[in-house]
Amino acid sequence: MKISNSHQKGEVKILFIKDKKISQLTKTQKDTLSLLGFEGIGNIFIPENKTFVIGIDKSLQDFPNTLRDSLAQAIMSLKKLKIKSISLEAQSLQEIKEICEGILLGNYTFDTFKNEKNKSNLKEVYIHAPTLDKKAVDSLIAQIQIIANSVNTTRELINTPPMEATPEYIVNFVKNLSKEIGFECKVHNTQFLEKEKMGAFLAVSKASCHNPYLVHLTYKPKTSKKSNLKKFVFVGKGLTYDCGGLSLKPSDYMTTMKADKSGACAVIGIVDSLARLGIEAEIHGILGLTENMIGGNAYKPDDILIARNGKSIEVRNTDAEGRLVLADCLSYASDLKPDFLIDLATLTGACVVALGDYTMGIMGYNPKLKEDFLKIASSAGELGGILPFNPYLKKLYKSEVADLCNIPSSRYGSAITAGMFLGEFVAESLLQKWLHLDIAGPAYVEKSWGVNPFGATGAGVRACIEFVKQKA
Ligand code: BES
Ligand code: ZN
Ligand code: ZN
């Protein structure tokens, strides 16, 4: 799909109606809409005028995703028609940003395995912006194209079934990407994990027939005007499959667990965009890639693991594996002494219970950092909710036989206790610089919503890119 800043007329014109104000329509258009029972809210196509009307609900006008979502929904309908080009008008750069995001994200579809492809006929979008600076509009469109491509790359990786998207597959994918764009990609294998004494990560990977990898991506700008580059480290949970291990998941809960690699795939998308944008910051991406499986060699409830930072962990449930992999990855990441340390993980079902499908949990020890992230995520089109840590919860993951237990003694607040557990593996000097994002809800949804078609959404990618852009 090509979006250009041009006066060219598309085959179909997109018209926005805010607050049911249909006064801008011609009499024939009004008559057709009234005949179709359209009352000013929702999308409708008027074939004889070749006009696609997007009616924006007044109650949603202040919701930051309204324009993006309407465009995405419009694209999902339009691409099924035999229309090759559309045109629309925009009044501000912010509007252009939201319009482009809606179009490019709404146009994604995962049909690799379908014989009948969901082919889109729509190829060209012309945006008329006579009142805006042409250079600024062109550069903005180019930026949004990069970011939307990264979100779609993340979605594609997550959607790829677990028989194909193994840890090795992700490694090869990101190796090729790093060569194409020019960032560093170090792949660490089992021997490295053993040398680093990553006993928690290694335990999770034991029963899988696929080798685990810790991948370390690094991007640094080739030249920079800044003397002091900020360092951002992103850590991603990359369980290419989570069947629960010996604490096996019931079948209904096992499906969709190919998406348990969403954190790592989001980190790939984040580094991809920031490198392509040539951002003036040092960016690291740490991926913890493995599978949580069953077998004679599987780690067990009752095992006691020693993590990289020396803390011992009693395993009481092998399905709480993400925090074990991340424990060692966060300890490794702490050594990089970042200015910001952010982990992304489909960590707990409890976070979905707390916030619902569409919202990521934002956790950490620094109130301002959490608030800042929440605001930035929202401006980037992603929903977040802060789940507060408190010292009373700490006793819930105490163990009688080890320093910590991998599950809390109460299920209440267990998105928070999982987050606090992760904090035990972040260097103390970095706790104020650390954020934990639980993306279990929004990363993969089995229905289309907002700018997202069925399946993987790329949750966290846009929010983190915007965060770096604002904090670098
Ligand atoms: N990968 C799951 C969490 C998850 C659940 C992600 C639903 C996406 C959707 C995680 O590894 C897990 O199984 N967590 C357990 C923890 C429990 C055993 C303490 C959970 O949330 O039930
Ligand atoms: Zn699990
Ligand atoms: Zn998991």
Q: Please work out whether the CB of residue 438 comes within 6 Å of at least one atom of ligand 1.
A: no
Task: Report the predicted TM-score, pTM, of the whole model to 2 decimal places.
Answer: 0.98
Atom of ligand 1 nearest to the CA of 350: 21
Task: For residue 384, report the distance from its CA to the centre of ligand 3, in Å.
Answer: 20
Atom of ligand 1 nearest to the CA of 260: 1
Q: Please work out whether the CB of residue 291 comes within 6 Å of at least one atom of ligand 1.
A: no
pLDDT digits (tens, 9 = 90+) for 359-380: 999 999 999 999 999 999 999 9
Which ligand has the nearest atom to the CA of 237?
A: 3
Task: For residue 320, report the distance from its CA to the centre of ligand 2, in Å.
Answer: 5
């846009």: which residue's tokens? Answer: 462
Instruction: Tell me whether residue 462 is one of the annotated catalytic residues.
Output: no
Mean pLDDT score, 311-330: 99
Catalytic residue among 323, 370, 433, 462: 323
DSSP 164: T
Q: Please work out whether the CB of residue 319 comes within 6 Å of at least one atom of ligand 1.
A: yes
- Say whether 220 counts as a known binding-site residue: no
- Say whether 303 counts as a known binding-site residue: no
**Amino acid identity at 264:** A
Calculated CA dihedral for residues 163, 169, 171, 177, nearest 10 degrees = -140
The answer to whether the 2-145 and 165-471 domains have the same CATH topology is no
Q: Please work out whether the CB of residue 44 comes within 6 Å of at least one atom of ligand 1.
A: no
Q: Please work out whether the CB of residue 321 comes within 6 Å of at least one atom of ligand 1.
A: yes
Fold classification of 2-145 (topology level): Leucine Aminopeptidase, subunit E; domain 1 (3.40.220)
Task: For residue 443, report the distance from its CA to the centre of ligand 3, in Å.
Answer: 12
pLDDT digits (tens, 9 = 90+) for 87-122: 999 999 999 999 999 999 999 999 999 999 888 889
Instruction: Tell me whether residue 68 is one of the annotated catalytic residues.
Output: no
Q: Please work out whether the CB of residue 260 comes within 6 Å of at least one atom of ligand 1.
A: yes
Tokens matching residue 133: 């600076």
Tokens matching residue 416: 């928070």
Atom of ligand 1 nearest to the CA of 242: 1
Instruction: Find residue 159's DSSP bridge partners.
Output: none
Q: Does domain 165-471 have CATH number 3.30.160.270?
A: no
Using DSSP bridges, classify how beta strands 282-292 and 231-242 pair: parallel, antiparallel or unpaired: parallel
Mutate to test the pocket of ligand 1, among 319, 353, 409 (most ligand atoms within 8 A of CB): 319
pLDDT of residue 31: 87
pLDDT digits (tens, 9 = 90+) for 218-273: 999 998 888 899 999 999 999 999 999 999 999 999 999 999 999 999 999 999 99
Catalytic residue among 30, 175, 249, 394: 249
Please, which residues have CB within 8 angstroms of residue 462's CB and are 6 or more apart in sequence? Answer: 101, 147, 151, 377, 380, 381, 382
* Domain assignments of the chain as residue spans, ordered by start: 2-145, 165-471
Q: Is 53's pLDDT higher than 90? A: yes
Mean pLDDT score, 153-163: 98
Q: Is 182's pLDDT higher than 90? A: yes
pLDDT of residue 225: 87
Q: Residue 319: which of 342, 337, 298 has the closest Cα?
A: 298
Contact 350, 414 (CB under 8 A): yes
pLDDT of residue 88: 96
- Say whether 321 counts as a known binding-site residue: yes
For ligand 1, atom 22: residue with the closest CA = 349
Contact 34, 20 (CB under 8 A): no
Q: Is 20's pLDDT higher than 80? A: no
